[in-house]
Amino acid sequence: MNKILLTIMFSLLVVSSFAQDTTLPSLQKLTTDKQFDAIVAQYAPAQEHLSAAALYYVGYAYFMKQQDDSCLKFMDLSIDRNANDHRAYFIKGSTLNYMQQFDQSIKCFKAAIALKPDTAEYYSGLGDAYYNLHLYESALENYKTATEKKAPGERPFLMVPQVYFNLHQESKALEALYNNTSKLPHGSEGYTKSWFNIGQIESLSGNYDKAETAFLAVIKSDSSDFHAYAKLIQVYYHNKTYEKAKFYRASLYDAHKQGLLKENMEDMFCFDQFKWKGKSIQAFERYEEGPKQGIFNKQIFYVLDSIGNVDFTIQTEYSPISVEMGGPKYILCGSQGGTHLNYGIGFNDNFKYDDLKNAVVNILEKKYKTVAESK
């Protein structure tokens, strides 16, 4: 009974102290307005006169300014004056995570959870610390707990399948991703990422119908996810349902014209992948179109070795001379070790992909001889 009375009296003292702290309304407003420089400039020099709550807000300002050492200093000061503020432990733990001091951050997250065990973020932070220490079972336990709390956010849902992958439990990872599509809000980033990863896994497993469903769900959720367009095209090319691919191919060309494609999709996209005698072949198509005076590559087949390096390329090359002479628009050529190879096989824009793919395979099997070579 005495312990209970002492706790109640201490709580009342803390509330009374906070109520009398006239700096708090100003600090709260500055924090809401994201005026972190103003908080630091105005309140950090007067640290010895600040309450535990005020010290927390100063530390939080340093946290948002990514000044880790100062953040830790003020969180420690806040905790010294009030060891019952779960927020200070959480921000200290998060800062220690950023500083890769995971053993120390675990202690902070556990302290925050002990004080407020219903907060999803605290379990996610603890999960992150365990994950970075490669303690995957402990990470999984805390991520799962986070998903069961109120307002868990998307991160713990995304990390659960990631941990299963690290544990080499691919079937459970896929199950968790499918679970995410029913738990996360439609159209959210986590929902879209989950469907994309499902599409990747189902494709690699040879379940192309399920992969098609997944990538269509990605595009429905985010029509600007152009990587999903390319992945869907690859599904259709594998299934030889080329007509289905036309809309998405045209969409990529349109996005290119609008300058919407960035990084590895800015110049070309992968439209097919297949195996040949243990080697991986990746087929890309460039957006560049004729007629032009200069030579350019249109379709490029990258032949990869066992560790993923490009060993050889076979490409259709736009030939202004051939066009001028009434011949085919593209000539099938190759490149290997600084040598350019011309096989003398021509294609126009309306070619059948199976014919091009067969020609590429025949080149790989050395059934065609070159008509010209140059360094």
pLDDT digits (tens, 9 = 90+) for 83-120: 999 999 999 999 999 999 999 999 999 999 999 999 99
Distance, C-alpha 266 to centroid of its chain: 18
| DSSP string across 250-305 | HHHHHHHHTT---GGGSSEEEEEEEEETTEEEEEEEE---S--SS--EEEEEEEE-
Lowest mean pLDDT among 60-69, 109-118, 164-173, 323-332: 323-332
pTM (predicted TM-score): 0.86
Q: What is the distance between the alpha carbons of residues 312 and 333, in angstroms, rounded to a whole number?
A: 11
Q: What is the distance between the alpha carbons of residues 27 and 329, in angstroms, rounded to a whole number?
A: 69
* 217 pLDDT more than 90: yes
pLDDT, residue 141, reads 98
What H or E segment, with its residue span, contains residue 119?
none
pLDDT, residue 292, reads 62
* 19 pLDDT more than 80: no
* 16 pLDDT more than 80: no
Average pLDDT, integer, range 196-209: 97
| DSSP string across 54-80 | HHHHHHHHHHHTT-HHHHHHHHHHHHH
Q: What CA–CA distances, in Å, run from 37 to 67, 91, 206, 242, 362?
A: 12, 18, 54, 57, 66
Which token pair is 115? 């004080």
Mean pLDDT, the chain, as a whole number? 92
pLDDT, residue 324, reads 85
Average pLDDT, integer, range 331-337: 93
* 300 pLDDT more than 70: yes
Which token pair is 374? 């140059």
By the 8 A CB rule, do 264 and 288 touch?
no
- Where does the chain show beta strands of DSSP type E? 268-276, 279-286, 297-304, 310-318, 330-336, 339-347, 372-374
Average pLDDT, integer, range 168-186: 97
Q: What is the distance between the alpha carbons of residues 294 and 317, in angstroms, rounded to a whole number?
A: 10
Strand order in the sheet with 339-347: 268-276, 279-286, 297-304, 310-318, 330-336, 339-347, 372-374
293 pLDDT band, cuts 50/70/90, is low
- The better pLDDT of the pair 164, 306 is held by 164
Q: What is the distance between the alpha carbons of residues 71 and 244, in angstroms, rounded to a whole number?
A: 55
Q: What is the distance between the alpha carbons of residues 333 and 351, in angstroms, rounded to a whole number?
A: 16
Q: Which residues pair with 317 in a beta bridge?
A: 297, 331
Report the C-alpha dihedral over residues 209, 214, 216, 218, rounded to 10 degrees.
Answer: -170
pLDDT, residue 13, reads 33
Q: Which residues pair with 286 in a beta bridge?
A: 268
- The better pLDDT of the pair 14, 41 is held by 41
What contacts 24+ positions apart, CB below 8 Å, involve 303-308? 303/276, 303/279, 303/364, 304/279, 304/280, 305/279, 306/278, 306/279, 308/280
Average pLDDT, integer, range 262-274: 96
pLDDT, residue 10, reads 32
Q: What is the distance between the alpha carbons of residues 60 and 264, in angstroms, rounded to a whole number?
A: 38
Q: Which residues pair with 318 in a beta bridge?
A: 330
Q: Is the peptide bond before 117 cis (omega within 30 degrees of 0)?
A: no
